[in-house]
Structure formats: C-alpha cells, structure tokens
C-alpha cells in the first residue's frame, strides 16, 4: 500500500497544501514565498528521498513566523497520515552530518509520542528574511504533528547557514533510516506493546 498523503491547512494566517510520498526518490516542488525556508524543505526532501510538493502562502508581510510554523504542522500531519499504522518500519533513525566546519546530530524515534530536544544556538538573528529562532518552531511543529520523539543538536560550527542546513540534512537522513521497512518484520509494529503512541 503506497505511503502517501495530502494535507490542506487553511487559516486566516496561512494557506498550505502538502503532498508527501514516503517511498519516493527525493523529488520536490516547493513554494512558500520564503527563500530560506524553501531551501530547507528542498534539503529535507532530497536527503530523505521523500517526494514533497508544498505550496504555501501566508502573512509574510508581518514576519515569517506563521508560515514557518504552519509548514512544519502541515508536513508533520502529512507524515503521520502517510506512515499510517507504522507496521514494519525500522522506527529509529540517527545521523551525524558534517558541513564544512559544522557538525550536527539528529536522533529520532517514530514513537507516536512527540517530543523535541533542541540544542542549537545561533550567532545571527536572521538568515535571509527568516529569524533564526523560527527554526526551533519548525522542528517543534513537525515533531508534534508527526508524532516523533526528536533530538537535534549542533555539536559545533561557526557559519549559521551551515548549522541549520546540517540540522535539516541530519533530520532527513534520520527519517530515511527510520521509515525504511525492515524485511524481517514487515508485518509487525516495532513495539512490545503491539502499538506505537500513548
């Protein structure tokens, strides 16, 4: 059964449509009106091998907060819908990603119990038009709506662009590992409880 989902999220602040294919090739078509956010969503798709179509419009004349958070919510909801009952998934994933002088680490559990640990600091207030504090908002919104326990840590680095991009690439590679079907237990939920979440 294909692991695909489409989500539409419309509020007074944003209008978002997301289509996600967990078993894709990393193809993407992304438009949020925020250049740096587009760049990160493209990295997420390319390195996870999830196909992503994202069209988002929002009140960016105010700032980028609503569009960033709501994109995280919508992609998280699409992920949760696509992963379904979670039968056969590897469940856990981790990645250590270098980017020039920067090294970042992500570990995650597709547990159905959302939680975010965020150990990332920036020395600049903005990257492009995005406030750097918004990256935590995106990761938190994604984890909460995807039902993922997510630990994100920048171990060291100087360039703020490299720091956040390495975090997204580490998330992508961790997801790629965790959503893979384990051929030895493709018919079972990876939990002694017989279910995930709760």
Condensed to tens digits (0 to 9), the pLDDT of residues 2-36 reads: 899 999 999 999 999 999 999 999 999 999 999 99
Question: 136: Cβ–Cβ under 8 A, 6 or more apart, which residues?
Answer: 116, 118, 120
Residue 104 C-beta-side C-alpha neighbours within 13 Å: 30
Question: pLDDT of 148-176, one tens digit each?
Answer: 999 999 999 999 999 999 999 999 999 99
In this prediction, residue 184 carries a pLDDT of 73
Q: pLDDT grade, residue 188 (50/70/90)?
A: low
Question: pLDDT of 101-142, one tens digit each?
Answer: 999 999 999 999 999 999 999 999 999 999 999 999 999 999
In this prediction, residue 185 carries a pLDDT of 67
How many CB atoms within 10 Å of residue 179? 23
Domains along the chain? 4-185 (3.30.230.40)
- How high does pLDDT run on average in the chain? 94
Is residue 195 scored above 90 in pLDDT? no
Nearest partner of 18 among 57, 84, 60, 71, judged by Cα: 71
């Amino acid at each position: 059964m294909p692991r695909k989902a489409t989500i539409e999220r419309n509020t007074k602040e944003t209008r978002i449509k997301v289509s996600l294919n967990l078993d894709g090739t990393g193809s993407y078509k992304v438009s949020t009106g925020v250049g740096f956010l587009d760049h990160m969503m493209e990295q997420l798709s390319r390195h996870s091998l999830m196909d992503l179509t994202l069209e988002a419009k929002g009140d960016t004349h105010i700032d980028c907060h609503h569009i960033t958070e709501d994109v995280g919510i919508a992609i998280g909801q699409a992920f949760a819908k696509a992963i379904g009952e979670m039968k056969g998934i590897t469940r856990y994933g981790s990645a250590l990603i270098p980017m020039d002088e920067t090294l970042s680490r992500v570990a995650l559990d597709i547990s159905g119990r959302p939680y975010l640990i965020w150990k990332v600091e920036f020395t600049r207030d903005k990257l492009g038009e995005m406030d750097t504090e918004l990256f935590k908002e995106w990761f938190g919104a994604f984890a909460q709506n995807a039902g993922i326990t997510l630990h994100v840590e920048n171990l060291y680095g100087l360039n703020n662009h490299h720091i956040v991009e390495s975090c997204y690439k580490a998330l992508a590679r961790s997801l790629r590992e965790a959503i893979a079907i384990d051929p030895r237990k493709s018919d079972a939920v990876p939990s002694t409880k017989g279910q995930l979440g709760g």
